[in-house]
A and B are shown apart, each in its own frame.
Chain A
Amino acid sequence: MHTSDRHDIEIDLFRRALMLRHGYDFTGYAPASFKRRVLALQAAVQAPTVSRLTERLLHEDGFVRTVIGRLSVPVSEMFRDPSVFRALREDVMPVLATWPQINIWQAGCAHGEEVYSLAIVLRECGLYERAHIFATDFSEEALARAEEGIYPLHEARAYSDNYLRAGGTGSLSDWYVARYNRIKLDESLRKRVTFARHNLVSDGVFGEMQLIVCRNVLIYFGDDLQERALGLFRDSLVHGGFLCLGNRESLAYSAMADDFERLSEETAIYRRGIRARRTI
């Protein structure tokens, strides 16, 4: 049997153990990228086999945190895809400004790069004091990092560049202090942010949101799981609320497509239509 076929069997057992022992369900994830991440986890913790990972998952209490931390791949950037943040600033913020209270759900927040980016946009648009950002992820490790708001100094150039291309009105360095090899985002940006664990596979809707930002999370999901998450987003949005997906994500193949209007071809920002809210 080819090693790769043996891996498939081992990964299947690993996935079941993760589900039965810890309640994390990865069955709906796209299999090819999931496989890569399990093998990367195996390499990172220097386990001789995937089966050894399964054994540690069953018997070592703290191990699941590491596992989820690794499987989650919190790869992000501040102001990633600047044109999207420009559209949020120029097209979405003026509408948000018409609501007395602005609730924002940032789902799959990774290490918080997008949370602080959004907070900066809100501050620069004078909307921050009215806003509340709920930043969620299913990885505790990622959330802990997100709360710190500390990033490697060598990323600062790219982040600043993104910030300016996204229409930033000042300089990104107004919002962080650089120390040693790191930058730390201004504490005040966190004042109206709540970090919380939320699993898009198993948890429910999230209140009355004016804006939901969930980028580069759905690409990892299979069809059913994607539909589930989109259903959560639709049902968490107020009428006229906005949904911002990743650049390669869309509602094109979704049954939810009719409930939304796309703002432009260039960015995957949608507005929830005025049709009556469906109850599930």
Chain B
Amino acid sequence: MRAGRYDAIVMAASSGGIDALRIVLGALDARLRAPVLIVQHTASENGHALCELFAAASVIPVIEAEPRQPIVGGCAYLAPPGYHLLVEAGPRAALSVDDKVCHVRPSADVLFESAADVWRSALIGVVLTGANDDGAAGMLAIRSRKGLGIVQLPDEAEMREMPEAALRLAGADHVLRLAAIGPLLNQLCG
């Protein structure tokens, strides 16, 4: 596990995710080289408020992804409510209103699979708490490309289904408590 091998991080969280993401993002270092792309399932239509919530907890800027926006290291991009977030070569962000995947939009599978196509083995996927199985197929895509998979310890997760589904389908390189995830990302992408 060499530091500097990874160029980007994608993260998925659903119910219980806001608190979980605040902990993980809060632990990230300002020197993080990699961009962080995030899907958080939410019923709210206000992605802006969600960004502010995360930004308040974190030293790295957190913004809502816009179509065509260049993705740069050290920034976190949140999928806007109601839109899938995808990654295009560049890397640039793209949005879509295609059908829901796993009953959700944005879907982590959509983000993870498109990111795996762009970053291949240099991608880290993180699946956190949630009550569905979104992110599992995406994690499989990442790990089949030899990227790194990190899953929140199901026993610690507010909702264990999502981490468990990822572990069942794709396995993981690390199964960790929230408090340990940020520090590991700093180490891998510092």
Interface hit among B25-33, B49-57, B85-93, B176-184: B85-93
A216 to B96, CA, bound (A): 8
User: Do A248 and B98 touch across chains, with their CB atoms under 8 A apart?
Assistant: no
Size of the chain A interface, CB-CB below 8 angstroms = 22
Given A223-B68, A248-B67, A253-B68, A36:B110 Cβ within 8 A: yes
Residue of A3, A33, A220 with highest tally of chain B CB at under 10 A: A33
A249 to B117, CA, bound (A): 25
Contact mask B77-99 → A, CB, 8 Å, 1/0? 00010011011110000111111
Identify which of A73, A246, A253 contacts B98 (C-beta below 8 A): A73
* Cβ contacts under 8 Å, B110 to chain A: 36
Identify which of B87, B89, B97, B117 contacts A216 (C-beta below 8 A): B97
User: Do B94 and A2 touch across chains, with their CB atoms under 8 A apart?
Assistant: no
B7 contacts A by Cβ under 8 Å: no
Total A-B pairs in contact (CB under 8 Å)?
61
User: Do A32 and B88 touch across chains, with their CB atoms under 8 A apart?
Assistant: yes
Given A32-B117, A75-B99, A249:B94 Cβ within 8 A: no
Least Cβ–Cβ distance between B155 and chain A, in angstroms:
33
B145 to chain A: closest residue by CB: A2
User: Do B68 and A33 touch across chains, with their CB atoms under 8 A apart?
Assistant: no
Contact mask B34-69 → A, CB, 8 Å, 1/0? 000000000000000000000000000000001110
B114 contacts A by Cβ under 8 Å: yes
User: Do A36 and B88 touch across chains, with their CB atoms under 8 A apart?
Assistant: no
User: Do B94 and A32 touch across chains, with their CB atoms under 8 A apart?
Assistant: yes
Size of the chain B interface, CB-CB below 8 angstroms = 24
Given A30-B88, A32-B87, A4:B98 Cβ within 8 A: no
B88 to chain A: closest residue by CB: A32
* Cβ contacts under 8 Å, B68 to chain A: 223, 253
Interface of A: prevailing SS? helix
* Cβ contacts under 8 Å, A73 to chain B: 96-99
Given A4-B117, A33-B94, A219:B67 Cβ within 8 A: yes
A8 to B114, CA, bound (A): 12
A37 contacts B by Cβ under 8 Å: yes
B170 contacts A by Cβ under 8 Å: no
A31 contacts B by Cβ under 8 Å: yes
Contact mask A59-73 → B, CB, 8 Å, 1/0? 000000000000001
B151 contacts A by Cβ under 8 Å: no
Given A31-B89, A223-B68, A248-B80, A36:B98 Cβ within 8 A: yes
A5-56 at interface with B (beta carbon < 8 Å): 8, 30-33, 35-37, 40
B88-122 at interface with A (beta carbon < 8 Å): 88-89, 94-99, 110, 113-114, 116-117
* Chain A interface residues toward B at CB < 8 A: 2-4, 8, 30-33, 35-37, 40, 73, 75, 216, 219-220, 223, 246, 248-249, 253
* Chain B interface residues toward A at CB < 8 A: 66-68, 80, 83-84, 86-89, 94-99, 110, 113-114, 116-117, 141, 144-145
Known: A4-B117, A32-B87, A73-B97. 4 other contacts (CB 8 A): A4-B116, A33-B96, A36-B98, A73-B96
8 pairs across A/B with beta carbons < 8 Å?
A: A2-B144, A8-B117, A31-B88, A32-B88, A35-B114, A36-B114, A219-B96, A248-B66
